[in-house]
């Protein structure tokens, strides 16, 4: 049984999909949750859903590609709840399908800012706060922790989305290097790599076409798309003291995709 009572968790990209599912899961296990994202209505809906399960949460509108916005979000979390014990850096975007020759400077900047710079900025300010709290430790004696969202495409590759593939490989590199640097500070850093999950991103990738979604589901040995809650369960475990000896790891939650 995972118990996060008394802990404070921040979730970026918490307005829908995996981020929303993780925010709710944290709250159900007793954590106070800071939901961060760009879309106000959707973020406030996540907070309402958390309060419906008797959780405690706030929404902070955030552009995770901007240092000032990230710092302001961390400051708001601390001023509201007093500390940060857990961070799930989940915000990111998916790219349009195109050959490398057809991709533009603007698309490169958009992809790297949303998927790589955002993770770097979030960890920069989260870790600074965790260290300031004292030895990066939970009040109950465990470690503080960060989980970053990578992808199966952080391990393998597919054609026509080279910038997305590169950005997710970079997330794993950032995760490993940061885990090594701050292990002795009592801060664990891991990543989760989802397969194809039934979220808005899959709707975008498939153009909402049932045939395309069925094809994508069939690529997974389990034979279906994953559910946001299934990724949230893995994130919850990585965020808890049940994973106290796990750092620098990338956990595949992919229905067997990468094992093929």
Could you state, in order of their start, the residue ranges of all structural domains in the chain?
A: 8-253
pLDDT value, residue 154: 97
Strands, sheet with 144-149, edge to edge from the N-terminal-most edge strand: 56-61, 32-37, 8-12, 86-89, 144-149, 187-194, 250-253
Q: Which of 125, 164, 182, 215 is catalytic?
A: 164
Helix (H) or strand (E) run with residue 143 in it:
none
Look up 108 and say whether it is catalytic: no
Q: Is the pLDDT of residue 26 over 80?
A: yes
pLDDT value, residue 228: 98
Q: Is the pLDDT of residue 20 over 80?
A: yes
37 Cβ contact partners less than 8 Å away, ≥ 6 residues apart: 12, 13, 14, 15, 19, 43, 59, 61, 62, 91
Q: What is the pLDDT of residues 41-53, one digit of tens each?
A: 999 999 999 999 9
Q: For residues 57-72, b (16+ Cβ closer than 10 Å) or e, as one string?
A: bbbbbbbbbeeebbeb
Give residue 118's pLDDT band: very low, low, confident or very high (50, 70, 90): very high
Q: What is the pLDDT of residues 177-195, one digit of tens each?
A: 999 999 999 999 999 999 9
Q: Decide: pTM greater than 0.85.
A: yes
> Average pLDDT, stretch 97-116?
95
Q: What is the pLDDT of residues 152-165, one digit of tens each?
A: 999 999 999 999 99
Q: What is the pLDDT of residues 185-242, one digit of tens each?
A: 999 999 999 999 998 888 887 888 989 899 999 999 999 999 999 999 999 999 999 9
Domain 8-253 has CATH 3.40.50.720: yes
């Amino acid at each position: 049984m995972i118990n996060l009572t008394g802990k404070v968790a921040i979730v970026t990209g918490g307005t829908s999909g995996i981020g929303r599912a993780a925010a709710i899961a944290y709250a159900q296990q007793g954590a106070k949750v800071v939901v961060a994202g760009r879309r106000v209505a959707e973020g406030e809906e996540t907070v309402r859903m958390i309060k419906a399960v008797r959780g405690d949460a706030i929404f902070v509108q955030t552009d995770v590609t901007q240092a000032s916005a990230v710092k302001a979000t961390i400051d708001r979390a601390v001023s509201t709840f007093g500390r940060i014990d857990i961070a799930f850096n989940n915000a990111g975007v998916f790219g349009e399908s195109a050959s490398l020759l057809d991709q533009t400077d603007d698309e490169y900047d958009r992809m790297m800012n949303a998927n790589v710079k955002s993770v770097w900025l979030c960890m920069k300010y989260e870790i600074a706060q965790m260290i300031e709290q004292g030895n990066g430790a939970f009040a109950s004696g465990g470690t503080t922790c960060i989980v970053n969202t990578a992808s199966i495409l952080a391990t393998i590759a597919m054609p026509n989305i080279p910038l997305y593939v590169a950005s997710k490989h970079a997330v794993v590199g950032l995760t490993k290097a940061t885990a090594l640097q701050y292990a002795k500070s009592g801060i664990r850093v891991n990543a989760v790599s989802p397969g194809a999950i039934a979220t808005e991103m899959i709707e975008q990738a498939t153009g909402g076409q049932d045939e395309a979604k069925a094809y994508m589901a069939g690529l997974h040995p389990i034979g279906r798309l994953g559910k946001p809650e299934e990724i949230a369960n893995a994130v919850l475990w990585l965020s808890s003291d049940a994973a106290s000896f796990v750092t620098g790891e990338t956990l595949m939650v992919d229905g067997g995709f990468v094992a093929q």
